[in-house]
Each structure stands twice: as C-alpha cells, then as structure tokens.
Amino acid sequence: VVLEQQLLNALENHGLSVFYQPILSVPHQTIASCEALVRWYHPTLGFLTPGDFLPLAYEVGLIAQLDLWVLERVCQDIQAARANKLSMPPVAVNLAADTIMDALLIDKVQHLLTRYSIKGHELEFEMIEDVIKGDSLALRHTLEQLVSMGINLSIDDFGTGYSSLLRLKSLPFTKLKIDRSFIQSLPDNQDDCAITLSVLGLAKGLGLAVVAEGVENSQQQDWLHQHDCHYVQGYKYHRPLAPYDFFMLLSAPA
Ligand code: G
Ligand code: G
Ligand code: NA
Ligand code: MN
C-alpha cells in the first residue's frame, strides 16, 4: 500500500525516468530506432527497474497512466533532441493492454503529438502478443487509427505469448521483436535456432521486419546476420541509456 502510494506520487511528480536502448540495423550497426524503458529512482529503495514495480502498476490499475506518462516524457525528449539539432531515431514505447484499450487513447496520443509538434512516424508502439489475442473490433479500430497517424506497431517478446497467425496477419503490425529467451543460446541450442529461423521465415512471409532482442555476443550477431535478421538490440551494443548519455551517443561522429 505504501509502495502503491509512492508510485502514484512518482507519477504525479515526475519521479520516474525514461532510458533509451538503441536498436541497430545489421550489418552496419547504425542506430535505426530505440526503445524507451521506464525507471524509478525510489527515495529509499534506490534505482528500480520495471521488473521491480510494473507488476504493482498492473495490479493496482496504474499501468495506463504510467504508459502515458512515459509517452509524454518521450515526446519531451524528442523535442529536446530537435532543439539540440540531434537526429533522434523513432522511439518505441511499450503499451500494456489496459493502455491500448483506453477508449481515450487516440485522443490522448493526438493531443501529445500536437502539443510537442511530433509526427507519428517519430514514434512506434510495442505490445506483447497477448494484447491481440482477443478478437475485438475496438482493438482493430484503435490499431488502425494509430497507423493512420503514422505510428508503426510492433509485437514485443514474440514467441512467448499466444497470438494466432491469422490475427497477426490481419492486424496492421510492421515489426516482430523476438524474445531474448530464444536469442540467448544461439547458435548452440538447436531448438532456439529452429524457433528463431521459423520466426524469421514467418516474418518474411508476412512482410514484417524483425528485431532480435537481448543480443550479447558476436556469435549471436553473426548467426542473426547470416539468417537475414535486420535489426538487433542488446548489451553487445548498448545498455539502456539515460537521456543525456543517449543524446551524447547521437551526437558522436558515426
Ligand atoms: O528495462 P527492462 O529490461 O527491465 O524492462 C523489462 C520489461 O518491462 C520489458 O519487457 C519492457 O517491455 C517492460 N517495460 C519497460 N518500460 C515499460 C513501459 O513504460 N511500459 C510498459 N507497459 N512496459 C515497460
Ligand atoms: O522485451 P522487453 O521490452 O521485455 O525487454 C527489454 C528489457 O530487456 C529491458 O529491461 C532491457 O534492460 C533488457 N535487455 C536489453 N538488452 C538485453 C541484453 O542484451 N541482455 C539481457 N539479459 N537483457 C537485456
Ligand atoms: Na518492449
Ligand atoms: Mn521485448
């Protein structure tokens, strides 16, 4: 109960922060986009990562408010990058099912785009497979409106949830992110190689781009490159960076 109150407090008083992890294109390793990841500098517990407090946010119904807080902070950072003449790549923001199903989501997103003079294509939204498992017209409508605003949609942690291939095909996603649990043991684990290959094949068939998450070493990178995976994200390249550090990276000569 205390932690819940503190989280609400943090949301209302800008006590959270957003880190950025670059997503690179293979093989040139240029920054193609980045993922916004929330952090909480807790007054007494210290630096908390999502695993420490997102379950609480879901449980007490604060997740949609949190996601929108992150989205607004991202819009502010995009505006700040622009003011500093940095070319900010598209930023992927994670949205929970509750957030997607918020009837006012489209209005809220439109409001932020207008307020911070941001184009839809400067943002991407990531959601896990389970968000799309139910068949609902409202969901389809929301996703289509986001796409019509220029926002690209990705499926996060692909392979760990339940989404039918039919729904995947019929909804307006442009990217799949392969969960890092499948990437971790590449290329030694035959099962993980088989799973990753089948996701790459599926994505190609459906015309979707693929991001491999959690890439930590060159063997994984080489295998992914060899099998035509176009984007990588992971500690091999960059950890999630504080905004200032991410801006420094963007301003460094390539
Ligand atoms: O940053 P870290 O690797 O600890 O993130 C763990 C998980 O938390 C990831 O699956 C990520 O998708 C999720 N996550 C991070 N930031 C946000 C956010 O702002 N909103 C939501 N809904 N999930 C997030
Ligand atoms: O997929 P999600 O959006 O669930 O994943 C993002 C999370 O993965 C973040 O919490 C980030 O800190 C973490 N992460 C990013 N790259 C790596 C990596 O190379 N290895 C591991 N173990 N975790 C990573
Ligand atoms: Na994510
Ligand atoms: Mn992910």
DSSP secondary structure code for residue 160 in this structure: S
Total of domains in the chain: 1
Is 240 within the bounds of a domain? yes
pLDDT tens-digit readout, 91-130? 999 999 999 999 999 999 999 999 999 999 999 999 999 8
Q: What's the pLDDT at 67?
A: 98
Q: What's the pLDDT at 251?
A: 94
Closest CA to 113 of 66, 145, 154, 84: 145
> Which residues of the chain carry a pLDDT beneath 50?
none
The residue whose two tokens read 């918020």 is 102
Is 243 within the bounds of a domain? yes
Is 253 within the bounds of a domain? no
DSSP string, 91-142: EEEE--HHHHT-TTHHHHHHHHHHHTT--GGGEEEEEEGGGGSS--HHHHHH
Is 119 within the bounds of a domain? yes
For 216: left if phi > 0, alpha if psi spans -120 to 50, otherwise beta; the answer is alpha
Is 254 within the bounds of a domain? no
- CATH number, domain at 236? 3.20.20.450
Q: What is the number of the ligand closest to the CA of 158?
A: 4
**Per-residue buried b or exposed e for 75-112, using 16+ beta carbons within 10 Å of the residue's own CB:** bbbbbebeeeebebbbbbbbbbbbbbbbeebeeebeeb
Is 63 within the bounds of a domain? yes
Q: Is 132 in the pocket of ligand 2 (CB under 6 A)?
A: no
Is 252 within the bounds of a domain? no
Pocket of ligand 1 (CB under 6 A): 37-38, 49-51, 54, 63, 67, 70, 94, 96, 156, 240
Rounded mean pLDDT of the chain?
94
DSSP secondary structure code for residue 241 in this structure: B
Whether the full predicted model's pTM is greater than 0.80, yes or no, is: yes
Mutate to test the pocket of ligand 1, among 7, 23, 37 (most ligand atoms within 8 A of CB): 37
Is 35 within the bounds of a domain? yes
ipTM: 0.95
Cβ atoms < 10 Å from Cβ of 47: 10
Dihedral, 237, 242, 244, 246 alpha carbons, nearest 10:
20
Separation CA 218–CA 215 (nearest Å): 8
Residues with CB under 5 A from ligand 4 (ion): 156-157
Q: Which domain holds residue 93?
A: 2-247
